[in-house]
Amino acid sequence: MASQLALKSRIASTGSLEKIFNAQEMIAASHIAQAREVALNAKPYTDAIFDAVQTLVSHSHIAHPIVRKEGDNPRVAVLALTADRGMAGAYTSSIIRETEDLLNRLEGAGKEPELFVYGRRGVSYYKYRNRPMAQTWEGDTEKPGVEVADAISRALLEAYMKSAEKGGVSELYIVYTEFINMVVQKVRVLRMLPVEIIKPEETATSGPDTQSTQNVMPLYSFEPSLDEVLDAVLPRYVRSRIHECLLEAAASEVACRQNAMHTATENARDLINDLTRKLNASRQASITQELTEIIGSADALNKKEE
């Protein structure tokens, strides 16, 4: 009898868990649409900045420190993008694994990595293990706004622009999760700084076809000067790249969470089915036992009367 009560309460608690998982899954599904919209809204800005950088590259031999850094400073910065909340499957743990890998690799190469972490889960992981972190940010990993991207890129650019004696860093790596599609997300390591600008392919055209003349970049004038335009554009380029990474990581996080919650809901349903079957079996067993007892005692009484 007690086991029937126990089974019933387990079914009830699994049922309420299932509801929670299901709700989380639906929340994640609605966040996906939001994340997509935010990414779509930010795209024209990123494209415009990319075009401007292309123009600058085609016009000049850029010697800005963002593109090239002098000297061999062993200190490098590593930024890990993790989640604020759990319930997202292996999202944060795979980022942490990749980060550890990268840190070991960098240390093996004689560098001194400094750790920057975004996301509460990552921060508490490293805090618990007493690993020093240069700077951390928390909050809004599901929908990172421009402000977060601004804060992060400002801190990182500041660290990057400082000279080696003052504790500056010479490179910046970002560990984030690339959103490939709803089912597949991949952890990637990106070297953000110094910026690698890909020069547009030199058009090695044969003969004067109209296509190539249209593609020739017009001769620009820069106001107030090329250097000042570079100063204005390049930090924004870095920031928009970081923002792009944040948005992609957010989309991956939400997709991971949706998948994890979907699996959890299915597991809960399976468990409920299993438990219900056990409950039915045990109820049937107790009914059979009662019947046997009643029939047995009735038989005994009948025999006595005869």
Partner 1 sequence: MAGTTMDVNIVSAEHPIWSGTAKAVLVPAYAGGLGILPGHEPVLSVIQEGPLVVTEPDGRKHSFEVTDGFISFDSNKLTVVVEQGRSMQNIPIDETGIQ
Residues within the interface to partner 1 (CB under 8 A)? 41-42, 44-45, 48-49, 51-52, 55-56, 145-146, 149, 217-224, 228-229, 232-233, 236, 239-240, 243
3-state secondary structure of 118: strand
**Closer by beta carbon to partner 1, 194 or else 235:** 235
Tokens standing for residue 218: 């017009």
**Closer by beta carbon to partner 1, 86 or else 145:** 145
**Closer by beta carbon to partner 1, 216 or else 301:** 216
**Closer by beta carbon to partner 1, 50 or else 269:** 50
Name beta bridge partners: 176. Answer: 188
Strand 185-193 and strand 171-179: the pairing is antiparallel
**Closer by beta carbon to partner 1, 11 or else 155:** 155
Q: CB 235 → partner 1: shortest distance, Å? A: 11
Tokens standing for residue 243: 């923002």
CB 291 within 8 A of CB 283: no
Q: CB 53 → partner 1: shortest distance, Å? A: 10
Q: CB 47 → partner 1: shortest distance, Å? A: 8
- Name which of 153, 96, 101 is nearest 120 in CA terms: 96
**Closer by beta carbon to partner 1, 208 or else 218:** 218
Q: CB 278 → partner 1: shortest distance, Å? A: 53
Q: How far apart are CA 265 and CA 262, in angstroms?
A: 5
One-character DSSP codes across 32-88: HHHHHHHHHHHHHHHHHHHHHHHHHHHH-----TTT---S---EEEEEEE--SSS-S
Q: CB 188 → partner 1: shortest distance, Å? A: 23
21-27 long-range contacts, Cβ below 8 Å, gap at least 24? 21/261, 21/264, 21/265, 21/268, 22/261, 22/265, 24/87, 24/257, 24/261, 25/258, 25/261, 25/262, 25/265
**Closer by beta carbon to partner 1, 60 or else 282:** 60
Q: CB 17 → partner 1: shortest distance, Å? A: 35
- Name which of 71, 302, 101, 66 is nearest 187 in CA terms: 101
Q: CB 212 → partner 1: shortest distance, Å? A: 15
